[in-house]
Amino acid sequence: DAKTTQPPSMDCAEGRAANLPCNHSTISGNEYVYWYRQIHSQGPQYIIHGLKNNETNEMASLIITEDRKSSTLILPHATLRDTAVYYCIVRVAGNTGGFKTIFGAGTRLFVKA
Amino acid sequence: GAVVSQHPSWVICKSGTSVKIECRSLDFQATTMFWYRQFPKQSLMLMATSNEGSKATYEQGVEKDKFLINHASLTLSTLTVTSAHPEDSSFYICSARRQTTEKLFFGSGTQLSVL
């Protein structure tokens, strides 16, 4: 079962920041938070991941709360091409037993002009 | 970034025939690959974990005799849908984990339509 909860859909105006929340209240100490997105009829695309520190890359920023029970993916300047389903996933890193990536329902982000 | 190639991107077949889908990691070795299926407007469902040189591990409810997985090399895994039926029509997606990172890279998916 997916271990995350996300809102089913969100709207965002083009050029504005899109903030996508994720709850993962049962996350374990060795589990990372990953974000992927899927544009219609394509395979998912990796966005970012983190353990407990905030992370930033060329695509997005990831803010993880101090208790690690929730996180927020931030797309700083959303464009129409960012319209997609965004998946928040928690899993153990490394080649340990039971390594799997299970997808929840995700958040369908609509970026509007 | 790393590339995972999936082929074919779409296939139409008659009921009762078998269809093979290939997943290749083009610039890295992948000891583990994963196969997912996705129905319209639903999330990805993990079908099986493909391990190079050994048997695949199937998720509960996935018929291993119907969905044959072969991972003969470090860069290639195949999924064969045997005796396909219309209810097998779906979007099939593979992914591979690059060992030097913690990222999963996904293929572009295969849309299977069984008539």
| pLDDT value for A100 | 75
CB-based contacts of B19, cutoff 8 Å, min separation 6: B11, B13, B80, B81, B84, B112
Check B46 against A100: CB less than 8 A apart.
yes
- Exposed e or buried b for every residue in A83-109, given b needs 16+ CB within 10 A? bbbbbbbbbeeeeeeeeebbbbebbbb
Check B43 against A46: CB less than 8 A apart.
no
Mean pLDDT of B39-66: 91
pLDDT(A98) > 60: no
SS3 (DSSP) at B93: strand
Residues of B in contact with A46 (CB under 8 A): 103-105
pLDDT(B91) > 70: yes
Nearest residue in B to A34, CA atom? B103
Q: What is the pLDDT of residues A39-56, one digit of tens each?
A: 988 999 999 999 999 999
Pair of tokens at residue A28: 């374990």
| pLDDT value for A96 | 43
Classify residue A38 as exposed, middle or buried by CB count within 10 Å of its CB (0-12, 13-18, 19+): buried
Mean pLDDT of the residues in chain B: 92
Check B43 against A103: CB less than 8 A apart.
yes
pLDDT(B2) > 80: no
The answer to whether A92 contacts chain B (CB < 8 Å) is no
Give B102 to chain A, closest Cα distance, Å.
Answer: 6
pLDDT(B102) > 80: no
